[in-house]
Amino acid sequence: MPAELVEALKRNETSAFERLIAQHGAMLYRVALRLMGQREEAEDVLQEALLKVHQNIHAFDGRAALTTWLYRIVVNAALMRLRAQTRLPEELLDTAAPLFTDEGDHVQEVGEWALPPERVLLRQEALSMLQQGIERLPDLYRAVYVLAEIEGLPYREIAAILDLSVGTVKTRLHRARLFLRAMLAGYFAEGKGPSS
Amino acid sequence: MTAWAWLAGRFRTWFVKIEARFRHPGQRPGMRHCRYVVELIMSYLDDTLDPVERLAFEAHIADCRNCWRFLGSYRATVALGQQLRDEDIPSDVRERLESFLRNRLQRPP
C-alpha cells in the first residue's frame, strides 16, 4: 500500500527504501535512462533522486500520488544535469516539421515506411536511432516525450509533474513526434532505409 | 499495401463520404488541407476529435496518399517509442542503489 510505504519511508526504514526501489525502481530508471541517454548518468540521477526522496519524504502530504511525486523528483534531477549540456535549440524542431504548399498540401511525396516485424536486428537499429533522436530533443520536449510515450502517463499527470498546461504537453509531444518521425524517415522510407 | 487493403480503404472512403453527406448535409467531407490533417493527427489517434472532424479527417486520409502514408509513419513512430517501455532496472544498478541508500541511512543526521 502506498500510504504504508510512505509512513515507513518517513521512519527512515532501510527496508522501505528497498521496497521503493523494488516497486518503482524500474520506472524511475527508465525515465532517467531515456532522459540522460547514458546508463552511468542515469544511475547518478537515480542516486540524486533517491537522496531527495530521503530528504523530502517528510514534506510529502499525499495530495499527489506517490508515483507522480517520484516522477517529478527524478525528472527534475535529470533536467538539472541536462541544463549543463548543449542541446538542439527549440526552433530547430521546426526544420523537421513537414513542409506544405500555400494551399496546404504536402510539398514532397511522403514515402511509405516498411519494416517487416521479423527483422528484429533492424528494429534494434531503429530503436537505437530513435534513442539518438530523443537525446537531441530540447530538455522539456524530451521530458514530455519520455513521460507520455515511454511511461504512458496521461497528459494531466504529465502537466502536473512538469508544471505545464495540458495544451502545452500535447503540443510538445506532437512536435517531438514530428521531429523523431523526420529523423526516422530516411531510415524507413522506401528506397532509402536498410529494409528496402 | 496489399490489393485487398487498398480496396477495403476505397470502400471505407465511399461509406464515410456517403454517411457524412447524410448526417451533415451541406458540409463537404474531405475538405481539410494536408497541413490541417497533420495538425490533427494526434487528436485523431487520441480519439478526441468531434464526430464531424473525424469524418472529414478520415475522408481526407482515404483520398490523399501522402496523408495516408504520413499517418502510417506517425503511428509507426509512436509504436516504436512505446517499445522503449520494456526497459527494466539492471540488477547491478539496483544493488548499487540499495547499498548507496543503506550507507546514507546509517549516517548520523
Q: Which of A18-27, A103-112, B57-66 has the lowest mean pLDDT?
A: A103-112
pLDDT in tens, A140-177: 899 999 999 999 999 999 999 999 999 999 999 999 99
pLDDT in tens, A92-145: 777 778 888 887 888 888 888 766 555 666 678 888 889 999 988 998 899 999
How many other C-beta atoms lie within 10 A of the C-beta of residue A166? Answer: 14
Residue-level pLDDT at A83 = 80
Question: A87 vs A70, which has greater pLDDT?
Answer: A70
**DSSP-derived secondary structure letter, A112:** P
- In chain A, domain spans: 2-82, 90-188
Per-residue pLDDT for B24 more than 60?
no
Residue-level pLDDT at B14 = 65
Partner B contacted by A177 (CB < 8 A): yes
- CATH 1.10.287.3510 assigned to domain A2-82? The reply is no
Average pLDDT value for residue range A27-50: 93
Name the one residue in this structure whose C-alpha cell is 500520488. Answer: A65
Burial class (CB in 10 A: 0-12, 13-18, 19+), A86: exposed
Which among B33, B69, B78 has CB closest to A112? B69
Residues 80 through 119 of chain A touching chain B, CB cutoff 8 Å: 98, 100, 103-106, 109-113, 115
Per-residue pLDDT for B103 more than 70?
yes
Which CATH number describes the domain made up of A90-188?
A: 1.10.10.10
Distance, in Å, from the CA atom of A70 to the CA atom of A50, rounded to the nearest integer, reads 9
Q: Tell me whether residues B97 and A47 touch, CB distance under 8 A.
A: yes
CA dist B92 → A7, A27, A95, B100 (Å):
28, 16, 41, 12
Average pLDDT value for residue range B46-56: 91
